[in-house]
Structure 1
């Protein structure tokens, strides 16, 4: 099993559910410790694993941003971890929360495995980018000459510059992640965070984008599954409010009518690392109670 962390409610508190987190690109599972602790205090067992090519799930730093089994391997790993958690903690409802690239993985996962979970939260959702198809062609062309482990500054700029541009005046790279400068500085100092993807990694990202926004392949639907999309109102990953709401509508049309959304004005990409993140946590708890029927004390 991949390197993982599982945390528990305080001693003497009976667990009311399991939350499986799927982190985003270019980060690691330890960045979710505070978020997991919050939900532990509310009675949830929380679990997260480093995805392939991230955190401690590497042999050397050259493996960062490289996926041995492509995008499908990411989906399969999430499913394997889900089944492990359900075996270890039987009888408890399981909620899956995916952030950023993790939100793409979770939606691709739900195309076939939605009956395995009781609710889903989609955080920092990348809206559809028509560049994905052309991007794959471009990446394959570069890989012919440089190989799939090559880290292309050109592809990196194509993917990331639209996120950086709105916040250039703040004078710090990755300002788009959070309004909390301390969070951004810690991220920038971490040698396991922010490392550009290999061509292989960006190709997997483009594949995930196409999979999620395709209208085909949505099998084994759990049409009653409650799903909540959340995004910062200043998150460039959403592209625009219109594009974000279009992503929500697309998911509904793919067979999940119980899909809701919440936009948070003045917040950026990492809602769980925003200054007023407690507001987001409280809304997620309300979603669990009202839509998933999980009573929280």
Structure 2
């Protein structure tokens, strides 16, 4: 696989670091939208699958995440993050005019991507949601009811049954290992409500991927949001899988489901 290229954009709240996984003759653009506390560099393996499938892949580090500007993990308004992701799509489209655009969002990135599809759905060929934070996600309400948000970082073991995934996450200096911050939790609550009220996606092809042992973003809560979004839905629920299905022990199956879905969409 080709080496990554780095781009820097001016985002809504400062500089935005963007990774590109190039392809010499791409047939579509894949825009990967990472989750809370992490960064686009953790998507090297799925990006490799996508480039082998014919995509040029782009992935921003969101404000306050990875190599982008901002106080760590502070997002005051997810509408700004959606605007930033749209700027990355503009960068990709300028470099590769006329290609189909597929948006792939994981966890918090699923929330951002769902909102992106509500705002800019006519620019998308397909939407992929992995363990998306949409629907009935109870964590923000529980945290906001407390006087002080506890210093309880993400448990690396909740990410995957593959212990190497948790070990790499725990050792990654670009991953946030501290507590959630109140402005971000408040923004999560508002964004969940915004997506809930934001309308359906018409006939947009949507692939929903989720582990049935996801304890960070439980399956049943996400189902509420996915079904409300609508679109032409394909779902794949993986028995025993935890939160990060792209890093799970059955990821070869997940990647096959992803590329099969994209083959069907791109053939239309």
TM norm. shorter chain > 0.5 = yes
Mapped contact 1:103–1:125 kept (Cα < 8 A): yes
Mapped contact 1:128–1:213 kept (Cα < 8 A): no
Matching residue within 67, 73, 89 for 2:80: 73
Distance 2:141 2:213 in 1: 26
Distance 2:234 2:96 in 1: 28
Distance 1:101 1:3 in 2: 18
State the partner residue of 1:44: 55
* 1:224 CA displacement: 2.1
Mapped contact 1:26–1:196 kept (Cα < 8 A): no
Mapped contact 1:178–1:270 kept (Cα < 8 A): yes
Structure 2: unaligned runs, 5 residues or longer? 1-8, 10-15
Mapped contact 2:131–2:210 kept (Cα < 8 A): yes
Matching residue within 162, 165, 169 for 1:187: 169
Distance of aligned partners of 1:178 and 1:223 in 2 relative to their CA distance in 1, 3 Å threshold: same
Q: How many residues align?
A: 252
Alignment of 1:240-255 (within 5 A): 240=219, 242-252=220-230
SS of 1:237's partner is coil
Question: For each residue in 1:97-131, what CA deviation from the matched residue of structure 2 results, as whole angstroms up to 9, or x when unmatched?
Answer: 00000000111121211111110000012341356
State the partner residue of 1:119: 126
Q: Does 1:270 align with 2:236?
A: no
Greater relative contact order: 1 or 2 (C-alpha under 8 angstroms, separation 6 or more)?
1
Question: For each residue in 1:240-291, what CA deviation from the matched residue of structure 2 results, as whole angstroms up to 9, or x when unmatched?
Answer: 4x44433322111xxx2x122110111110011112211111101111122x
* 1:199 CA displacement: 1.6
Matching residue within 185, 202, 205 for 1:202: 185
Distance 2:201 2:131 in 1: 23
Distance 2:94 2:62 in 1: 20
Larger Rg: 1
Structure 1: unaligned runs, 5 residues or longer? 143-151, 165-172
Distance 1:27 1:130 in 2: 21
Distance 1:101 1:274 in 2: 18
Alignment of 1:270-289 (within 5 A): 270-289=244-263
CA-atom RMSD in angstroms = 2.2
Question: For each residue in 1:197-256, what CA deviation from the matched residue of structure 2 results, as whole angstroms up to 9, or x when unmatched?
Answer: 322222222222222223xx33xx76221011110111123424x44433322111xxx2
When you count helix as a share of all residues, which structure comes out higher? 1
Mapped contact 2:137–2:222 kept (Cα < 8 A): no
Distance of aligned partners of 1:129 and 1:121 in 2 relative to their CA distance in 1, 3 Å threshold: same
Matching residue within 26, 51, 55 for 1:15: 26
Mapped contact 2:32–2:57 kept (Cα < 8 A): yes
State the partner residue of 1:178: 160
SS of 1:121's partner is strand
